[in-house]
Structure 1
């Protein structure tokens, strides 16, 4: 080997050691930078002809296990999804209360039952009547509050969807830019490790927002797709589109998140934080709302069924009008009747409120009844046949009983029932002659399709005139004996029956395709409220456990990935000593060769 070759070989060793120390110093400096992967370059022998001509370093590469990186991203997606679901379920749990909490619906139902039982023992007590109305108002307001806060949570989820979509779009553009830089660097044989680290960090952040599919082209570009195959990034970024929904009501659907480039709509199956937020806004919270709407409508209907056994105002009146308006949402008169049965009694009274005439309307004896007008005709025929002066009418889409030639009229609904477009109800309840609870603008059908009960909890209220005048609270049934007081003040039969509502088992409908978590079941009102609470508590606990497990799994995978790609300071310092020794050795060779050149030069002189 000539001195020139020796000099060039030593210089290559000096340069290689210098480059190795530069790479090592970069590793040490970035040891605590999240997402940084260890860089290295393998030394390779330079061969000229058949001779060793020194050393050179390969291209700087990252020490990364791509499979583990991908696994960590998938676990990040699942963990972000579970954390978001767990957070919102915890918020629902805080809203609805916990077992043993006095603020739960079951507790409010028990308070209403207790106040009714107290009134039944003292029907003349103004304080007891006031307690009933206050307990009923508190229950109604609790339903109202649950609805407003549930819809506020939907609005919060909607706002977070907007923020998440913007974050996703930012990361898609960042990955696109990095793809371009990486492919250009590969084309010019420049190192790409730092750019790949940046892209991996962007992918890690993106994977928290939604589940991804990825693969890398030979050009170094990373292709990113949704879990359903919608293309998000290649050399271009296909951005998501979303317009915030705005004010939420129980029936308000949330606006969709779309991928305009493909026309796809992202749903809860998108995974990650975005999928969880869509699930919360369009599934979890509407299902919770569906359960409390179903409970509110059942309470309304069962309490009203009994309250209608008492006549309006606890006193005969010149007329008794039904509260139900028969015009449906399309402006049509929905007054179809499938069948009638049983009988009810009308009492005509004098000015003192005493019975002067008792009229029995036997619906079992009626000809086929197709609608309310047929029913009115039959009632008037039977009243006339018994010498009564009261009349029934159906005007302005409202059913009314009028006293006619006597001072007043009162109704005992008896066992008369109507099976119509509102289901099967007692006569007075069907027309809303003496309802206690109202849900304005919400259909009042106890067996309605799930969509028809939506919003019942939002508008539930005690009838406003009862709130203003507690004497209107029904307490006793109409007496029909001629000469007797039509509605004696001490009669508490209706009040007692109202208290019994809360001990009765009712059939709650299955939500079917509508919103709701609980399947159909037979239980009491407070039992159903307890079931809603128990479901929410169990679901919250399940998500908390799953989140803890998912977090531990993710941390384990992250530790394994960092063990392979992370920087070990001790190892780097050991390598630095080796590179320093190699540098010094190469420098010593250069110095020795230089001395030999100087000796040759001196000899030549």
Structure 2
């Protein structure tokens, strides 16, 4: 009996240390497996047995084979992986934008400068056909650069849409595998008598880490061994043994963009604004903060160029004696009604003040009581009151006429933007250089028979829309020459009589302004008339060139070129901040991974020592069995004798 007991004890040790050797070998063989958690054999003594003399031990057993892990460290790795991948995705994409906007030789600012240079040369020689053609060539090159930059930015947007679809497919594939792993874990626990299937849980943790690289997640462990997975703000991705599929659809507010949706039998739920991290979060954040900003910044400068040059060009006259028309095709203001509007909210919009324009789209919204408009670049919301439509408002240099084709319903939305398409739409309004309005439409002159010392300045146009702009006007001094009459030469009508003369004072007539200075005498005459020498007059070309020194942008504080530089630098700042964020999050991730490896990773030296120790214990247990067998044979021999 004693021999059998000793043999049994030896056998328990033999089997236990055999399992320990197998587990150690399993650790060593998986030392290169990513995400593998070192496994440890937990031993416990078998319950003792009372044999009449006392309680006798019954050997050892394997109580459990456990994973060595720390839940907090695993959560940190997921969080830092998500943040690191977000910044990496953001930074990688932002680096594509900077060369498009900042090409030293071919950026928009360089083309604006060349256009100004050509205008400066033409102002000095306004009759030169080659110089006129050069202005047209530089103007065309400028608009084509606007078009090309916008096209390249839109190509990046199309690529983002493809990447979004690809990432959503990857997310769905991983969440399905996690749901499958959940079911396998429960099955393993059931088969193993409430013991966890370590390798399957490791595989699931690897899948969760892979998922966190794509999107920010929260993981909730359940009592049955399963995990639920949610986006960080609560949208479900995996619930027990089922995964919730994501999808994409065209945005109801801008069909150029894809929205990410959670697919449901009752309809899709847009969750684009709930995805804040991971590769997908970085992509969506880049689209909003960098790509959209770049498109709107380029569009803002395009609007500024078109509106500012068109306004000034209309102050001039071309070599054929025609008043200046638009030099550039003015970009339109985009108006998009949300596709899911229940009512008839609409709007028509025009640019009224370029200096007040912002590089942004706007959302007009009706909440059931009031109309509101939100500047999407910074979220600034202005309450427009209850209306009712139609009514007019002016916001950030945009004249907005709010309309209603049918009664407006709560939730109706309209997106407005003067800058989103401007870079694509700007173009030269004509191709014939003879139509360049380089001259001033009117001129002044003193009568050759004047006897006084008074002189008249060149005329300056202040209102090119005045219907009488080109009428011939004569100023004739009375006796005494302290007053003068204003006479329309064409009709012979005296427009104003006995006007008090003030030396050097501005005189404004029919949209033109000039000054008379010095001492006139009675009978002296001065004429304001249509410019009959427009071919050699470069006054309006000089005025066009002077736009370079004006500040028509950003509330009248910056020039066209300064505004572009500010916009480009803002994009560069965003890209640099993303690089810094990526470096910081990667450092934190590396630290968390090192912490996990020190705790859960396989140390080959330690495992080799364990292997040797367990081998010695196994041999010792074999020796115990051998001794027990020898004792048994001795007893058996005595009995037989």
Q: Structure 2 length as normaliser, TM-score?
A: 0.70
Alignment of 1:559 onto 2:525: no
Q: Is the 8 A contact 2:185 2:225 kept in 1?
A: yes
From 205, 208, 214, the counterpart of 2:210: 205
Per-residue CA deviations over 1:550-576 (Å, capped at 9, x if unaligned) read 111110111011110000000000001
Deviation at 1:424, TM superposition (A): 7.1
CA RMSD of aligned residues (A): 3.0
Which 5+ residue runs of structure 1 have no aligned equivalent?
Answer: 331-419, 426-444, 509-519
Alignment of 1:22 onto 2:22: yes
Deviation at 1:329, TM superposition (A): 9.2
Q: Which residue of structure 2 lines up, in the alignment, with residue 478 of structure 1?
A: 441
Q: Which residue of structure 1 lines up, in the alignment, with residue 427 of structure 2?
A: 461
Q: Is the 8 A contact 1:212 1:224 kept in 2?
A: yes
Deviation at 1:110, TM superposition (A): 1.2
Q: 1:551 to 1:424 in 2, by over 3 A?
A: closer
Q: Give secondary structure in 2 for the equivalent of 1:59.
A: strand
Q: 1:40 to 1:317 in 2, by over 3 A?
A: closer
Q: 1:293 to 1:208 in 2, by over 3 A?
A: same
Deviation at 1:199, TM superposition (A): 0.1
Q: 1:197 to 1:421 in 2, by over 3 A?
A: closer
Quick one: distance in 1 between partners of 2:541 and 2:571? 33
Alignment of 1:301 onto 2:307: yes
Q: Which residue of structure 1 lines up, in the alignment, with residue 407 of structure 2?
A: none
Quick one: distance in 2 between partners of 1:126 and 1:553? 65
Q: Is the 8 A contact 1:477 1:487 kept in 2?
A: no
Quick one: distance in 1 between partners of 2:7 and 2:204? 42
Q: 1:194 to 1:108 in 2, by over 3 A?
A: same
Q: 1:315 to 1:29 in 2, by over 3 A?
A: same
Q: Give secondary structure in 1 for the equivalent of 2:240.
A: coil
Quick one: distance in 2 between partners of 1:549 and 1:558? 14
Q: Which residue of structure 2 lines up, in the alignment, with residue 291 of structure 1?
A: 297
Q: Which residue of structure 2 lines up, in the alignment, with residue 48 of structure 1?
A: 48
Q: How does 1:125-524 map to 2 (within 5 A)?
A: 125-189=128-192, 191-243=196-248, 245=250, 252-261=255-264, 264-270=269-275, 271-311=277-317, 313-316=318-321, 423=352, 447-448=397-398, 451-463=417-429, 465=430, 467=431, 469-479=432-442, 486-508=532-554, 522-524=557-559
Quick one: distance in 1 between partners of 2:127 and 2:25? 91
Deviation at 1:142, TM superposition (A): 1.1
Q: Is the 8 A contact 1:85 1:277 kept in 2?
A: yes
Quick one: distance in 2 between partners of 1:6 and 1:71? 50
Q: Give secondary structure in 2 for the equivalent of 1:243.
A: strand
Deviation at 1:480, TM superposition (A): 5.7
Deviation at 1:155, TM superposition (A): 1.1
Alignment of 1:577 onto 2:580: no
Q: Is the 8 A contact 1:83 1:547 kept in 2?
A: yes
Deviation at 1:184, TM superposition (A): 1.4
Q: 1:258 to 1:176 in 2, by over 3 A?
A: same
Quick one: distance in 2 between partners of 1:165 and 1:141? 36
Q: Is the 8 A contact 2:218 2:230 kept in 1?
A: yes
* Higher relative strand content: 2
Quick one: distance in 1 between partners of 2:119 and 2:323? 29
Quick one: distance in 1 between partners of 2:78 and 2:329? 58
Q: Which residue of structure 1 lines up, in the alignment, with residue 361 of structure 2?
A: none
Quick one: distance in 2 between partners of 1:204 and 1:322? 57
Q: Structure 1 length as normaliser, TM-score?
A: 0.74
Quick one: distance in 2 between partners of 1:211 and 1:169? 14
Q: Give secondary structure in 2 for the equivalent of 1:242.
A: strand
Q: Which residue of structure 1 lines up, in the alignment, with residue 639 of structure 2?
A: 604
Deviation at 1:447, TM superposition (A): 2.5
Per-residue CA deviations over 1:255-292 (Å, capped at 9, x if unaligned) read 32112349542224412111222223344312221111
Q: Which residue of structure 1 lines up, in the alignment, with residue 377 of structure 2?
A: none
Q: Is the 8 A contact 2:313 2:326 kept in 1?
A: no
Q: Which residue of structure 1 lines up, in the alignment, with residue 568 of structure 2?
A: 533
Quick one: distance in 2 between partners of 1:328 and 1:104? 24
Q: Is the 8 A contact 2:179 2:242 kept in 1?
A: yes
Quick one: distance in 2 between partners of 1:68 and 1:484? 83
Quick one: distance in 2 between partners of 1:303 and 1:30? 70
Aligned length: 477
Deviation at 1:95, TM superposition (A): 1.2
Q: Give secondary structure in 2 for the equivalent of 1:219.
A: coil
Quick one: distance in 1 between partners of 2:289 and 2:114? 32
Quick one: distance in 2 between partners of 1:242 and 1:43? 49
Quick one: distance in 2 between partners of 1:321 and 1:85? 40
Q: 1:448 to 1:319 in 2, by over 3 A?
A: closer
Q: Give secondary structure in 2 for the equivalent of 1:135.
A: helix
Quick one: distance in 2 between partners of 1:130 and 1:319? 17
* Higher relative helix content: 1
Quick one: distance in 2 between partners of 1:551 and 1:139? 42
Deviation at 1:124, TM superposition (A): 1.8
Q: Give secondary structure in 2 for the equivalent of 1:258.
A: strand
From 60, 63, 66, the counterpart of 1:58: 63
Quick one: distance in 2 between partners of 1:328 and 1:135? 25
Per-residue CA deviations over 1:238-268 (Å, capped at 9, x if unaligned) read 433323649x9x9545232112349542224
Q: 1:321 to 1:253 in 2, by over 3 A?
A: closer
Q: Is the 8 A contact 1:506 1:522 kept in 2?
A: yes
Q: Which residue of structure 2 lines up, in the alignment, with residue 369 of structure 1?
A: none
Q: Is the 8 A contact 2:551 2:559 kept in 1?
A: yes
Quick one: distance in 1 between partners of 2:106 and 2:37? 53
Quick one: distance in 1 between partners of 2:285 and 2:624? 70
Quick one: distance in 2 between partners of 1:16 and 1:587? 12
Q: 1:181 to 1:485 in 2, by over 3 A?
A: closer
Q: Which residue of structure 2 lines up, in the alignment, with residue 4 of structure 1?
A: 4
Deviation at 1:546, TM superposition (A): 1.4
